[in-house]
Amino acid sequence: MTGATKQVAEFEEIEALLPWHAAGTLNPEDAARVEAALTDDDALSARLVLVREELGETLAVNEALGAPSGRARDKLSALIDQEPVRKPGVASRLARHLTAFMAALSPRTLAYGAGAAALALVLQAGFLAGFVLTEQQPASHQLASAPAVTTADGGGSQILIRFNPQATIADVTRLLGEHQAVMVEGPATGGMFRVRVSSTPMPQAELAALIKQIGQNPIVGLALPAGRR
């Protein structure tokens, strides 16, 4: 491939990505490539202007379509009435808890990070293992890195934590591991997670110091003592 041919191929490749660049839906790597190309290519910048015009008018076309009447909702409701009644299962309760836990941490990381996805699988395995352990034997051992679900609160010392939105699952796992802590439940009101930091009751002063220490972690927005239930 000659230099000129290669340049044309690169231009066309980047140009094909412009619609997604304008919509803000490119992955970070491609977004960086497009940004770099745009900085020193006036022809490409001119094409981006056209793309933005198309985007704006496509939004206008769609917005002008209005909304469906209440008939669609009523019909759906009637159709669901005819469906067999379902009872919640253990598996779906677990899935719900897990998805709530992960979604509350960092949706972007989950959506875009292949690494986070792999970690999510590890967490899920740990989560289920933790559940099985809790169900089948006394709580003599817990996987420190895995968020555990307990049917009771499990006693010991517990605190409430709200993580910052940018906290990743890896960050949270690391924090829990550092303190041998276990996720008990959440997210509750205000995005708070209940975390067990000790399987035995801690002295108040020691617990207060720990809460202060955890609260200073950059991924933590708020850390509070948890009331007994």
Kindly compute the dihedral angle of the four CA atoms of residues 26, 44, 35, 112, in this order, to the nearest 10 degrees. Answer: 10
Which of 11, 47, 134, 199 binds other proteins (CB under 8 A)? It is 47
- Scanning the chain, the segments in alpha helix (DSSP H) are 3-23, 28-39, 42-63, 71-81, 90-105, 107-112, 114-136, 169-178, 204-215
Which of 38, 44, 55, 202 binds other proteins (CB under 8 A)? It is 55
| Residue 44 in contact with other proteins, rule: CB under 8 A | no
Distances in whole angstroms, Cα of residue 67 to Cα of each of 63, 71, 77:
9, 11, 18
User: Which range touches other proteins (CB under 8 A), out of 101-109, 139-147, 153-161, 211-219?
Assistant: 101-109
Which of 100, 139, 170, 202 binds other proteins (CB under 8 A)? It is 100
Q: How far is the CB of 100 from other proteins (least distance, A)?
A: 5
| Residue 61 in contact with other proteins, rule: CB under 8 A | yes
Q: How far is the CB of 51 from other proteins (least distance, A)?
A: 7
Edge to edge, what strands does the sheet with 182-185 contain? 182-185, 193-198, 157-163, 220-225
| Residue 114 in contact with other proteins, rule: CB under 8 A | no
| Residue 166 in contact with other proteins, rule: CB under 8 A | no
